[in-house]
Amino acid sequence: MRENNTNNLEFNSELNNEKGNKKYNKKAYKPRKENNNGEKVVNTKKIIKNDKDENKVVKSRKGNGSILDLPTFKKSNLKIIALGGLDEIGKNITIFEYEDEIVLVDCGLEFPDDDMLGVDIVIPDVTYLVRNKNKIKGLFVTHGHEDHIGAIPYILKQVTMPIYTTRLTAKLIEHKLEEHRLLRTTELNIVEQGQTINVGKISVEFIRSSHSIPDACMLAIHTPAGVVVHTGDFKVDYTPIDGQIIDFARLAELGTNGVLALLSDSTNSERKGYTLSEKSIGPVFDSLFEGCKKRIVVATFASNVHRVQQIVNSAVKFGRKIAVSGRSMINMINSARELNYIDAPDNLFIDIDNIKNYTDEQLVIMTTGSQGETMSALTRMAHGEHRKVNLTGNDLVIISATPIPGNEKSVSRVINQLMKIGCEVVYSSLADVHVSGHACQEEQKLILSLVKPKYFLPVHGEFRQLMAHRETAIEMGIDKNNVFITSNGRVLEVNENEAKFTTSVPSGKVMVDGLGVGDVGSVVLRDRQHLSQDGLIVIVMSMDGQTGEFVSGPDVISRGFVYVRESENLMEDVKSFIKEEIDSMVERHIRDWSTIKSTLKDDVRDFIFNKTKRNPMILPIIMEV
């Protein structure tokens, strides 16, 4: 995909508008307001439409932190159902169902596997939600990463529901809704950290968390059956860029009062120790920028706003301007600047078209493509296909990310290509230019010790990661019979006395290819795989509709099988074989089209395999004249 000049111009104007023209201050976050008693004052803003139910939003804290004015109900089992995010990376979505009420946590996408040819993204199967759409009270979103918000527009086309989340996450969702023309018809509510939303028998409390994107939250789901804590993605960072540390006091308070179940991020559950603080990256950037005479290109995740802030800090410190390439990076920085989550001096950001007006040592180019994506800005730069940026031996390229599982080869190819054109490349194997946004074992232990759940469900990870998290929980004293390794679609019913698996609901992968949602399945993927491996042979013939005799053909068309000009003898042999088969069927008075097609397909496939040891797809076409 080529870059759009309009996007770049829009980016430049937005970043340097009145909201952006402020004195540079490393503290990019505004302090929270407090009342005379020192309590936080929190408000909910409905940015799409107002909700007339005044009882829907309640404060979660007063004095000792108890939940106020929540109604009491006769206790039933709470159902916990993951429709995605288990034994996979991505597609996170979890159902919490109590009697006739359902709340959802997150609704993300997954990137396709290598064998999903032509598939753009993968989203969860929400058949169960469609069947129970009248029960759904709301979607509660923990943070703004694609694996937690990317499927929202696709699901809203099947099921309507209000959405509740924090400011930056809401802004990112708003962009998606606008792109899919759903903004006017969707209720999108901004919630402050520390606030509780009451939707009936279920209330959901937003708890301040720490991750690689601002405004991340854990959720405490209050039900008559008990309290369930969902960590979302988290790490324990005592020196976060935004100064927002996990609300340990609230987690401890919940743990003291009693938590029925904990669902916790398992991404780094195999790693011992602690995840490094995001702030540890700052000095590394400074050391790379200091004294560097080359132009600096930094590739990172567009959503890692804290990383972007540190790149901004180093650019300011060493007198460099920043140009941005990649639509997702441009959109993210625009949104973060608008909400005051990135702090930068006046006119720091320049349009990518204007980089020619600056020397190499005056520039930083911030770009997408840290995962080696085929059409990303960095990949196009590496192959000389970028319209605005031409990389040379006078460029230092910093890849500030580690490959997501499955992307290792793609990232390696890009690094090799960058080196072939003479760039100096720094990546995680050579310098500490990346830290994870997910908790390692000691951090997971801390959350377990604070929350003290009766039941524990490792989530957000592949099976081996879920199992490692299970062992950590048992080590922390949780009864092994109360630790549940579940799978997508499996229903776990819990109450204060027992937890058990009962049944399963539809779950799986829905593939999105262009504008088509769900019209690509296993059969289509198998055909695409077949075509990609051995190609296609099309056999075209004409048949007299009255006599049943073949009047022309066969014509044989090959695509992706052999180069016809160099394999004329083989193609002539194929034609001769087809003619013999047709003559044989005529002699046997076989005139049924489906029989003729099936016979030709099988016999020609066997003939070609014996000749070439290849197995192309055979497609017979018979036209009636």
CB of 537 closer than 8 Å to CB of 573: no
The b/e string for 43-56 (b: 16+ C-beta within 10 A; e otherwise) is: eeeeebeeeeeeeb
3-state secondary structure of 599: helix
In this structure, what token pair is assigned to residue 52? 């007339």
Helix or strand or coil: residue 320?
A: coil
Nearest CA to 353 out of 17, 4, 2 is that of 4
The three-state (H, E, C) secondary structure of 168-207, written as one string: HHHHHHHHHHHHCCCHHHCCEEECCCCEEEECCCCEEEEE
Residue-wise burial string across 564-574, b where 16 or more C-beta atoms lie within 10 A, e elsewhere:
eeeeeebbeeb
How long is the chain? 625
Is there a cis peptide before residue 554, judged by omega within 30 degrees of 0?
yes
Instruction: Single out the catalytic residue among 237, 247, 265, 513.
Output: 265
User: Which H/E stretch holds residue 397?
Assistant: strand 395-399
Residue 292 DSSP code: -
Query: What are the beta bridge partners of residue 511?
Result: 122, 520
Strand order in 395-399's β-sheet? 349-350, 321-325, 363-367, 295-299, 395-399, 424-426
Positions of E strands within 489-586: 490-494, 499-504, 509-513, 516-520, 536-543, 550-559
d(CA 279, CA 335): 22
Please indicate whether residue 438 is annotated as part of the active site. Answer: yes
Is residue 589 annotated as a catalytic residue, yes or no? no
- Return all residues near 8 (Cβ < 8 A) that are at least 6 apart: 324, 330, 351, 352, 353, 388
Residue of 434, 353, 318, 392 whose CA lies nearest to 382: 392
Is residue 521 classed as helix, strand or coil in its secondary structure? coil
Can you tell me which residue has the tokens 């999108």?
Answer: 188
Residue of 145, 386, 438, 469 with catalytic role = 438
Torsion sign, CA atoms 434, 440, 443, 448: positive
Active site residues: 265, 438
